[in-house]
Amino acid sequence: MKIHPMFRIKTFSQLVSEADDSEKGLHRTLTSRGLIGLGIGAIIGAGLFSLTGIAAAENAGPAVTISFLIAAIGCGFAGLCYAEFAAMIPIAGSAYTYAYATMGELLAWIIGWDLVLEYALGAATVSVSWSRYLAEFLLKHNINPPLEFFCSPWEKLSLLNNTIIVDGGIINLPAILVIFVLSYVLMRGTKESASMNSLLVILKVAVVLVFIAVGFGYTDAANYTPYIPENTGVIGEFGWSGILRGAAVVFFAFIGFDAVSTAAQEAKQPQKSMPIGILGSLAICTLLYILFAHVLTGLVNYKDFIGDAKPVATAIGKTPYAWLQDTIIIAILAGYTSVMLVMLMGQSRVFFSMSRDGLLPSVFSKIHPKFRTPWITNLFFAGFVSLFSGFVPVSDLGHMVSIGTLFAFVLVCIGILVLRKTQPNLPRPFKTPWLPWVPILGIVVCLFMMLSLPGETWIRLAVWMGLGMAVYFGYGIKNSQMQKKSQDKLID
């Protein structure tokens, strides 16, 4: 029986040979510690510093800690599947590469295009938040920049106790500049990027720990009563349905651990270090999130977080250490910076892999002769992401990032089930435990969170994927390396 090119899969030997190709290969410079740092750098950021208060005020109340736990469980199931793939197939490209090895070229393209959406909009969204906190910090210290350059033409800039200062700006220039600076850092080399990221991770984790330690002694037990507020009669507004809706909201806070797997081809001993990097970063961040949320809702009644864009600064103001507010803002800026760094890195590695496979023009897989990085791809996405950062109100597109990531998780979990069935004898340095229940539960939890997102999010996803299919059938399928190397091979 003949197989259509778009359904062909890459063999395990093909993937390994690509990883060992010295002309195309990336430098292996990342250790387990560096990978954990990359994971923490991607995870701790916008979600922890902003969404915790939103989910508490609108969905779960003090039980937002349970929401974090539910979201972490869903990520944990997917993380175990990611770890098996990353150890077995240590190639750049993350879920895109895994799908190519299990479900064929068409589904690989779909997930790769989906990951571009996740990382691009994720980096753009965080860059806008980064710009907002920078403006807040400058104004607080009596530095008055032209705020029209901190806001897109279709946004309102609300700072200083949520007072609207700018109703439609010119361009969000700081957001654009930070994207280009971080893209340049990535062009210089992965090791250098990881070193910068490690410094940022140390800073923001230290401040998170200080917040927990300082705030814990000033929490008010009355703020935890009732721990699970009674449902208002509307699904998703408190009660257990609110906790579950809150899990879908704070899921954004966990986005990033999968970005570790995009660096598999740059990891030393990937069979050992990739599972440690993925699961280690997820475990550390889950613990920090639950403690952080507990202290946050203990310092301030959850109702007071309604409309508060800076819940962490508000909470620390309830302690005798209000002077820490400046430190908190600096930590948030550092946290956002590291998130953008890892998002931009993951994005370029997925595009690199798709280009190497012929699905995108070969220029995107060119490696810099000195720095050994896909610098053209880095430069391209600096421009692409900056368009969203500077001119588009991306705050309402956060759900797009979540649905794209959840879709990727679902396909990775399915891929584990497929590969265990079709190629049971492949060497697996790390095995997903409790098969088939872990992948199945990962699929169920992630699909449930996807279904809890608004209908317009599904429409936007459909439009983006439609554009991707046009690119694939217009260019990718005609130039695929699989098409060139194996014309109409028979399935055994």
Name the band, by pLDDT with cuts 50, 70 and 90, for residue 490: very low
Name the band, by pLDDT with cuts 50, 70 and 90, for residue 280: confident
Confidence check: pLDDT of 321 > 70: yes
Where do the domains of the chain lie, and which CATH numbers do they carry?
5-485 (1.20.1740.10)
Name the average pLDDT for the chain: 79
Confidence check: pLDDT of 404 > 50: yes
Q: Which whole number is the average pLDDT over 144-161? A: 75
Q: Residue 259: what pLDDT? A: 63
Confidence check: pLDDT of 64 > 50: yes
Q: Residue 467: what pLDDT? A: 93
Confidence check: pLDDT of 53 > 90: no
Q: Residue 492: what pLDDT? A: 44
329-343 pLDDT tens trace: 887 887 788 778 878
| % of the chain with per-residue pLDDT over 90 | 15
Q: Which of 124-133, 394-403, 420-429, 468-477 has the lowest mean pLDDT?
A: 394-403
Q: Residue 432: what pLDDT? A: 85
Q: Residue 298: what pLDDT? A: 94
485 or 350, which is more confident: 350
Name the band, by pLDDT with cuts 50, 70 and 90, for residue 264: low
Q: Do 420 and 435 meet the contact criterion of CB atoms below 8 Å apart?
A: yes
Query: Does residue 174 have a cis bond before it (omega within 30 degrees)?
Result: no
Q: Which whole number is the average pLDDT over 21-41? A: 60
Q: Residue 346: what pLDDT? A: 76
pTM, two decimal places = 0.78
